[in-house]
Chains A and B, each alone.
Chain A
């Protein structure tokens, strides 16, 4: 007997979307920005985003490139809006908390690059949770 048309495991289809040329380029860019393995990021995206959002990722990334508001150096380097509103891989509350932490470190005199690296490590932790 044939199975249902729906309630299938969508992982292979989602993977196919992510390995298409434009998607693959974007996923690799994000992975290198967040300094995490591509496979791990792909798995996270497959588990947390639906098919149409995965299809739309390159367009959303383009929108992020042109429509991001200027919230300062730390927010831009951390991808505060990019990774919450445009490419929604992190909840806004989690990103706000990381952003506050990084800002606090910058205020205490830690160089911005070092503080942002700490923030990215926090983002990786949040994605792995």
Chain B
């Protein structure tokens, strides 16, 4: 006779579907998940503690080492926070180049997140197509900044190197190819019947639950919340940025929001290339003492730095609130609860694009 039992199912710390170590303790009634708990601490870096007492010239390199996937935005938020403290202006050309670097970083991060999802639901072909596309984006990021990850492209008062005209033409050509391929792949995802079975109506995060957990980024925007840090960024406002959102609240919506945002990033980069102002890329400036809270829109959502520096630009105190903290919490305490099958747990977890490196900063 069939019997329903309560079981605890531990997932991780090492799991084929997880990019980084974390432990999910799922409580199930039969196959239905009724509760989940997260255990962290397998890769704690203590980077905030390492940053304290060091000059900003060292901390800017440490900041982008918080996360290898979205290193550009950590660099950008830290530098812009220091600029805010020290009232350092950024030349218009440098501001546009920052947006290009940041959007390329967003594109590769979203492509990697969607690859992970496709891999988790065992659609490896589409996953590999997306990884191939990501390599092309990484090449463009390397052409612009000189490195694939931890580029240290942004410095107070500007950026490290300019974009020559021929590089802009190469980037423009690459964007055309990437957009053409991406539209085909996102169409494959959008119309795939097997993908829909694994993704539609799975891992529901209601708008209210997302607000309670302070979910951010594509995870929140897939639940109908039109929040985006780029809305208040002066350069993005010049570019007429408008956030994208969906209201399906499921795994499918989260992946599709990322596909939509990659297309949007391509448009933003094209607009930057078209309107790229002439002039210097470094205006200079001195980092001073002060205290600020500064947020930027990372690929996964709102990234906030709380910084206190002394008169020599040394970091006295720093706290980093990464988007993955909010999104993993929303995922494990809202999305996973009520999942009909254990197989949906990993898919739902990966759909929130969890970054344990960011969480264990």
Interface residues of A (CB under 8 A from B): 5-6, 10, 13, 20-22, 50-53, 55-56, 58-60, 62-63, 67, 85-86
Residue pair A10, B38 in contact (C-beta under 8 Å):
no
State which of B41, B319, B329 has its C-beta within 8 Å of the C-beta of A10.
Answer: B41
In whole angstroms, what is the CA distance A50 to B212 when docked?
Answer: 17
Residue pair A5, B42 in contact (C-beta under 8 Å):
yes
Main secondary structure on A side of the interface with B: helix
Residue pair A20, B319 in contact (C-beta under 8 Å):
yes
In whole angstroms, what is the CA distance A52 to B23 when docked?
Answer: 11
The 9 closest A-B pairs by CB, nearest first: A59-B214, A52-B38, A56-B329, A63-B214, A50-B37, A51-B40, A52-B329, A13-B41, A55-B325
Q: Which residues of A contact B319 (CB under 8 A)?
A: 20-22
Residue pair B39, A21 in contact (C-beta under 8 Å):
no
In whole angstroms, what is the CA distance A59 to B328 when docked?
Answer: 13
Main secondary structure on B side of the interface with A: mixed
Other than the given A50-B37, A63-B213, 8 more pairs (CB < 8 A) read A6-B13, A50-B39, A51-B38, A56-B325, A56-B326, A56-B329, A58-B321, A63-B214
Residue pair A5, B39 in contact (C-beta under 8 Å):
no
User: In the complex where A22-B306, A53-B329 touch, is A59 in contact with B38 (Cβ < 8 A)?
Assistant: no
Residue pair A52, B214 in contact (C-beta under 8 Å):
no
Q: Which residues of B contact A50 (CB under 8 A)?
A: 37-39, 332
Minimal Cβ-Cβ distance residue in A for B211: A67
Q: Nearest Cβ in chain B — how far from A90, in angstroms?
A: 15
State which of A10, A52, A67 has its C-beta within 8 Å of the C-beta of B325.
Answer: A52
Q: Which residues of B contact A59 (CB under 8 A)?
A: 213-214, 321, 325-326
Interface residues of B (CB under 8 A from A): 10, 13, 23, 37-42, 44, 48, 211-214, 306, 317, 319, 321, 325-326, 328-329, 332-333, 359
In whole angstroms, what is the CA distance A40 to B361 when docked?
Answer: 27
User: In the complex where A50-B37, A55-B359 touch, is A67 in contact with B212 (Cβ < 8 A)?
Assistant: yes
Q: Which residues of A contact B306 (CB under 8 A)?
A: 21-22
Q: Which residues of A contact B317 (CB under 8 A)?
A: 21
In whole angstroms, what is the CA distance A12 to B211 when docked?
Answer: 30
Q: Nearest Cβ in chain B — how far from A6, in angstroms?
A: 6
Q: Which residues of B contact A21 (CB under 8 A)?
A: 306, 317, 319
Would you give 22 A-B contacts (Cβ < 8 Å), ordered by A? A5-B42, A6-B10, A13-B40, A21-B306, A21-B317, A22-B306, A22-B319, A50-B38, A51-B41, A53-B329, A53-B333, A55-B40, A55-B325, A55-B329, A56-B325, A59-B213, A59-B325, A59-B326, A60-B213, A62-B214, A63-B212, A63-B214
Q: Which residues of A contact B321 (CB under 8 A)?
A: 22, 58-59
In whole angstroms, what is the CA distance A10 to B212 when docked?
Answer: 25
Q: Which residues of B contact A20 (CB under 8 A)?
A: 48, 319
In whole angstroms, what is the CA distance A59 to B214 when docked?
Answer: 6
Q: Which residues of B contact A52 (CB under 8 A)?
A: 38, 40, 325, 328-329, 332, 359
User: In the complex where A22-B306, A67-B211, A67-B212 touch, is A5 in contact with B13 (Cβ < 8 A)?
Assistant: yes
In whole angstroms, what is the CA distance A60 to B210 when docked?
Answer: 10
Q: Nearest Cβ in chain B — how far from A121, in angstroms?
A: 26
Q: Nearest Cβ in chain B — how far from A86, in angstroms?
A: 6
Q: Which residues of B contact A53 (CB under 8 A)?
A: 38, 329, 333
Q: Which residues of B contact A56 (CB under 8 A)?
A: 213-214, 325-326, 329
Minimal Cβ-Cβ distance residue in B for A50: B37
Q: Nearest Cβ in chain A — how far from B312, in angstroms?
A: 21
In whole angstroms, what is the CA distance A50 to B333 when docked?
Answer: 10
Q: Nearest Cβ in chain B — how far from A11, in angstroms?
A: 12
Q: Which residues of B contact A13 (CB under 8 A)?
A: 40-41, 44
